[in-house]
A and B are shown apart, each in its own frame.
Chain A
Amino acid sequence: MYDPRLSIIGERLSGINRIIVVSSGKGGVGKSLIASTISLLLARRGFKVGLLDLDFTSPTTHVVLGVTGMQPSEDRGIVPPTVHGIKYMSLIFYLGERLAPLRGSELSNALLEVLSVTLWGSIDFLMIDMPPGISDLMLDVLKYVRGASFLVVTSPSRMAFETVRKLLLLLKSLKAPVIGVIENMKMDESEYIRREVEALGEIFLGEIHFDRKLEESLGSVSKLLETSFAREVEEIIQRILAYN
């Protein structure tokens, strides 16, 4: 038996100039906020941007973007709706408020389905928001999303970085391109993360300080883009754009 989805994924992604996978390995470090904010800022710069939420069991980018009352359309596949200038795809369109408790093989199947039916068209960037963990979905993204580069997010916590270090080592061992590491939610002037990242031979892209007003901005893109969080993300974008 042959799964025909495997033959069409490359075609579906062929119109995308750069695919950036926002990952961490650890949960709660701000991947979804960073993936969403980078998408918004790139779109504001005039780039054509897609955002794919692969956190199938706990998607949250729709909360950041304030997505309500929208559905993808159908035209020989699924056409993602445009949200604040971004082509946006998430299982939330099909799940609503419900939880889909998925095991590993089901996560893989959901990923293959989404990749094989979503029509991104011609875009400059596809940002992928990954779930926490270095398991099935990460391995599947490495296998099926060819040409992607990885943007790794950590918090200042040594506990978070313990996992991030393993992810970075995995990516390096697989020769997967790593754009660099962002330190999010920084609350002091510790150089620990920068030192550790550079010791691994990776690029420290910058730090984003803990922003107490960020929570209030969730769901309002105009408020989000006025936060100090967004300003610091904007500074990092320059370094992401410089990455080849």
Chain B
Amino acid sequence: MHEWALAEAVISSLKEIANREGLKEIREVHLKVGELQQVDEEILLFALSQMRSGKLANTKFILKTSRARFKCRVCGHKWLLKEVKAPDEVKESIHFIPEVAYAYIRCPKCNSPDFEVSSGRGLWILSVRGVK
């Protein structure tokens, strides 16, 4: 599952952060999960729990979903992912590589493929709480 690859990246980053900041332990991590990638949050949390060790052994992970919003660079129209009707195989492709969305989504108002994902893309570490 792709969620396992994302979890691995998070764990690797947290180990780096712990070493860089001289943390003995990381207690709590807030993650922002972009809706565009349609990450299965349960699987992500499970993967994170399975990969915890050392300074991360007792880390609590808190996920916050960021709604995917688009803005047309041509006409300025704004819309949400839930307004986009895409078949499952397209959603799966976007799940792996979110930029694939540019091949399938167009501005519902002017049909331009030139839009920005103004929020809801990717997975981010928002904050880390640890003990020195």
Would you call A110 and B6 a contact (CB within 8 A)? Answer: no
Known: A78-B96, A91-B97. A100 touches B6 (CB 8 A): no
Residues 10-30 of B contacting A (Cβ, < 8 Å): 10, 12-13, 15-17
* CB pair B9 A1 closer than 8 Å: no
Is residue A102 contacting chain B, with contact meaning CB distance below 8 A?
yes
Name the residue among A3, A94, A114, A117 with the largest chain B CB count within 10 angstroms. A94
Let me know if A46 is at the binding interface, CB within 8 A: no
Chain B positions near chain A (C-beta within 8 angstroms): 1-2, 4-6, 8-10, 12-13, 15-17, 32, 93, 96-100, 102-104, 113-114, 121-126
10 contacts between A and B (CB under 8 A): A3-B122, A4-B125, A8-B8, A11-B8, A74-B1, A95-B103, A100-B99, A113-B97, A113-B99, A116-B9
Nearest CB in chain B to that of A56: its residue:
B99
Instruction: Supply 14 further A-B pairs (C-beta < 8 A) apart from A7-B15, A106-B99, A116-B5.
Output: A1-B32, A2-B13, A2-B17, A3-B125, A4-B6, A8-B5, A77-B5, A77-B8, A91-B97, A95-B100, A98-B104, A107-B99, A116-B9, A117-B2
Q: A1-B32, A7-B13 are in contact. Are A109 and B98 (CB under 8 A)?
A: yes
The answer for the CA separation of A91 and B94 in the assembled complex, in Å, is 11
A73 to chain B, nearest CB (A): 11
In contact, B32 and A94 (Cβ under 8 angstroms): no
A94 touches B97 (CB 8 A): yes
